[in-house]
Structure 1
Amino acid sequence: MFKHLFKLIWNKKSQNFLLLIEILVSFMVVFLLSSSVVYYMINYQKPMGMDYKPVWMIQYNNELPTKNTDSIVMFYDAVKQHIASFPEVAEVSFSGNNIPFSSSFSSTDISNKGVKYERISNFRVEDDFIKVWSMNLKEGRWFNAGDRIYKDRPIVINESLKKKMFGDAPATGQLISNKEEESKWRVIGVVEDVKDESDFSPVMDGMYLRIDTGTFKWLSTITLKVNSNADAAFESRLSKYLSNTFKNSSIEIAHLEDMRKEKNRSKAMPVVIFMIVAGFLIINVALGIFGVLWYNINKRKSEIGLRRAIGATGNTVSIQLVSESLLLATLSLILGVFFAVQFPLLHVFDMPSNVYFIAIGIAIIFIYLLVFICSLYPGKQAAGIHPAIALHEE
């Protein structure tokens, strides 16, 4: 039967070529769209690694009249203590600008036993940072006041970087260095991975460094964990205090929940646009497949009538036409899968290999369903052709 179907397809190769191309393009579009959706869903299902909902962010312009380090540290200690005195505030911490869901990014390159690791997210934090974000320690400890005096500067890394650098071995006590191997850091702890970009973004390899006295000169971000009774009235009082404290400085207070939603929208928007475009394309392809099959039936009335005259049933004719369509889809899918498997081999878009293979499976199932549905009605119409009428018309 398949040999006969191949002959029929080959005899009409000029008519089927366009249909093959349409199915191939549809497969690639569905494959690319599925890759993005599957990648986002896998990332979405991973834990956040923190509690961002009660966290607020304060940003200010760092323009203090003094350059004396001790005076700057005393000033910020006083600011922190005053903010912590509000009954609505549970925890307060200064940090670098690249907090979760912000538009700021800071990275560095590090080295471990001669192996280089590039673009590691670099976070500058205080001792209370872990309390503000309710982060989970997986190994070792967090920073404390005793880390002000050190031989090798203490550092905390996340689970992803730990697995990449040390595998299943303990990371606590290990020494790492910067890319030039001029500075040494000693790992004192490992924290759970934090999704700091968006719900749909992958976890970045990260490292946390403790803020020292010299860092306060360029800091401009405060994060605070608020209680459930923090409302607009408290935000107004907080803004008024900060405006009076940081003279001639623009104060911005943002809620991390709102920042997260904005990040998720910006991350999902390209995929939504791609889905709309792909939807229109697939609808056009479906109409094209339906039209081609309808045209082929009208052109093959004599063939169908002859088959019916020599004893073929309507169901047999219908199955033949549907089988031809599915065989055409298979030929296109073979070529499409060949192109699709190049994506994990060449590390296109830098996604995990399993994402591409899941997307290939989804795209194959979708194309078969699309072709099957589009060929059902033309196949039914072909089954209803009366042999005497078809032969009489010829």
Structure 2
Amino acid sequence: MIGHVLKMLWQERRKYAGVLMEQMLIFVILMVSMVALFETIDKYREPGLLNTDNTMIFGYMLHGGGNGSPYDMRDVGQGMNIIIEKLKKEPFVVAITRSYGLAPYLRSDVYYDGMFADTVKVDGKSVVVIVKFADKEAQSVFQPKLEEGEWLTNNALEDGFRPAVITRQLMNKLGWSEAIGKRLYLAGRTLTIVGISPGVKQNVFSDMPTAIIIPRDEEQLSSYEECCAKIKLGYENEFHSCFSKEYKRLGLAEKAVSFCYEMSGLKRGSMFDVVFGVAMRAIPTAFLLLFAFIGTFGLFWLSSKKRKVEFALRLVVGATKQRLIGLVVTESLILSVLAALPGMIFFGFVYEWTGVNVAAIGMTLVVMIVFAVFSAWWPAYKVAQVNPVEAMREA
């Protein structure tokens, strides 16, 4: 049947040339959109994304852009200690962590690099890393995944050194296959590695930096501190009200500006630019696909009506209605496959043959096949119901 259909398409090449060119264009545009969509989904599903569901971030910023007096910093810091202890006793609070540089979505990658970059030294090598300060409660709040080992503790280890969790990116740069128990040096301190993380993302779609996570000491408190609380679902307003009430009661508003909001909003903001870019590709592509479907549907409708006599003769000589419908649908499928070939060649030159990209082009082919079947099936079905006698009489 395929050879017969190809011969028919060649004989009617002038009629189908426009549709073929249209579908070539659609395939390329749809393929580009699918690749962007699949890459975005793959990036989102990468390890390293901290869990910020039902998480509130709260804290303060000293007046003057964070450059308040040391006395204000001390007083507000002590006040925050009181507030946090009060919040921990609330029944809707699961855990509270105090970190610096660990909480995601608070700044761009450039600012993370500028604020937290440092150098670790080990085995005669020096590697620039992003240093993140955390406490043991961060495990309950952000639920970071570990490939090996355990999370930080707030106390010194048995060897007298402080613990550290390093990322897989740092291990790769050091050329290590094992890291648990090894020591490295950072800013004059000796640290013992207790855990290995696959990575920690600073924004949803950003690359995972080479990073190290170490305990946060009290002397590292600054005018800006990341206090995050994991709360029970639906208690956002209660948490905000409790924090604001305690903050005002302690008279801290005169020395620093408070803030308290859900981290889910920060996550959506981090995703906006990338998702918006994908949507700006997908929406025009969807409209183009719709208009092309209407055009192809109309072409096969007119073509099928003009072939009413041909269909009638085929029925007379023994063809079934299902076979006639299959003939027209096969024509549409072959046309779509021919239109996809230039796009697949283009794909081979422009994109790498990764699993994500192959899945994207596979989905593009599926969409085009569905497009081809639905644009041809209904016109073929209607014409296949023709009465051979009436069709011959009209002719």
Does the alignment reach a TM-score above 0.5? yes
User: SS of the residue aligned with 2:227?
Assistant: strand
For residue 13 of structure 1, what is the aligned residue in structure 2?
Answer: 13
Which segment drifts farther, 249-258 or 50-59?
50-59
Aligned residues of 1:83 and 1:92 also touching (Cα < 8 A): no
Paired with 1:315 and 1:334, the residues of 2 have a C-alpha distance of 28
Aligned residues of 1:80 and 1:92 also touching (Cα < 8 A): no
Name which of 253, 262, 284 aligns with 2:260: 253
For residue 354 of structure 1, what is the aligned residue in structure 2?
Answer: 355
1:236-315 counterparts in 2 under 5 A?
236-240=244-248, 244-245=251-252, 247=254, 249-263=256-270, 268-272=275-279, 274-301=281-308, 303-304=310-311, 307=314, 312-315=319-322
Task: Find out whether 1:158 has 2:167 as its counterpart.
Answer: yes
Question: What letter is aligned with 1:207?
Answer: A
For residue 142 of structure 1, what is the aligned residue in structure 2?
Answer: 152
For residue 336 of structure 1, what is the aligned residue in structure 2?
Answer: 343
Task: Find out whether 1:102 has 2:109 as its counterpart.
Answer: no
Q: State the Cα distance separating 1:11 from its structure 2 match.
A: 2.2
Cα distance change on mapping 1:13 and 1:241 into 2, 3 Å: farther
Aligned residues of 2:57 and 2:262 also touching (Cα < 8 A): yes
Q: State the Cα distance separating 1:331 from its structure 2 match.
A: 0.9
For residue 222 of structure 1, what is the aligned residue in structure 2?
Answer: 226
1:9-158 counterparts in 2 under 5 A?
9-42=9-42, 43-44=44-45, 48-50=49-51, 52-61=53-62, 62-66=66-70, 78-86=78-86, 87-88=89-90, 90-96=95-101, 99-105=103-109, 106-107=112-113, 122-128=130-136, 130-131=138-139, 133-135=142-144, 138-139=148-149, 142=152, 144=154, 146=156, 156-158=165-167
Paired with 2:5 and 2:355, the residues of 1 have a C-alpha distance of 35
Q: State the Cα distance separating 1:358 from its structure 2 match.
A: 1.5
Q: Identity rate of aligned residues, in percent?
A: 19
Q: State the Cα distance separating 1:357 from its structure 2 match.
A: 1.4
Aligned residues of 1:95 and 1:126 also touching (Cα < 8 A): yes
Which runs of 5 or more structure 1 residues have no equivalent in the other structure? 347-352
For each residue in 1:278-331, what CA deviation from the matched residue of structure 2 results, as whole angstroms up to 9, or x when unmatched? 332222111111111123234445554555566555444333222111111111
Question: What letter is aligned with 2:330?
Answer: S
For each residue in 1:193-223, what CA deviation from the matched residue of structure 2 results, as whole angstroms up to 9, or x when unmatched? 445534xx47623413556788656x52331
Paired with 1:57 and 1:192, the residues of 2 have a C-alpha distance of 27
For each residue in 1:9-43, what CA deviation from the matched residue of structure 2 results, as whole angstroms up to 9, or x when unmatched? 12222222221233233333443444444445553
Which segment drifts farther, 266-275 or 324-333?
266-275
Cα distance change on mapping 1:360 and 1:221 into 2, 3 Å: same
User: SS of the residue aligned with 2:208?
Assistant: coil
Cα distance change on mapping 1:371 and 1:76 into 2, 3 Å: same
User: SS of the residue aligned with 1:251?
Assistant: strand
Number of residue-to-residue matches in the alignment: 370
User: SS of the residue aligned with 2:373?
Assistant: helix
For residue 349 of structure 1, what is the aligned residue in structure 2?
Answer: none
For residue 173 of structure 1, what is the aligned residue in structure 2?
Answer: 182
Task: Find out whether 1:319 has 2:326 as its counterpart.
Answer: yes
Q: State the Cα distance separating 1:133 from its structure 2 match.
A: 3.5
User: SS of the residue aligned with 2:6?
Assistant: helix
Which segment drifts farther, 12-21 or 37-46?
37-46
Which runs of 5 or more structure 2 residues have no equivalent in the other structure? none
Paired with 1:79 and 1:256, the residues of 2 have a C-alpha distance of 23
Q: State the Cα distance separating 1:375 from its structure 2 match.
A: 0.8
For each residue in 1:251-284, what CA deviation from the matched residue of structure 2 results, as whole angstroms up to 9, or x when unmatched? 3222324433554566544445544433322221
Paired with 1:363 and 1:127, the residues of 2 have a C-alpha distance of 47
For residue 235 of structure 1, what is the aligned residue in structure 2?
Answer: 243
TM-score by length of 1: 0.72
Paired with 2:265 and 2:357, the residues of 1 have a C-alpha distance of 32
TM-score by length of 2: 0.72
Which segment drifts farther, 156-165 or 289-298?
156-165
Aligned residues of 1:20 and 1:329 also touching (Cα < 8 A): yes
Paired with 1:15 and 1:164, the residues of 2 have a C-alpha distance of 60
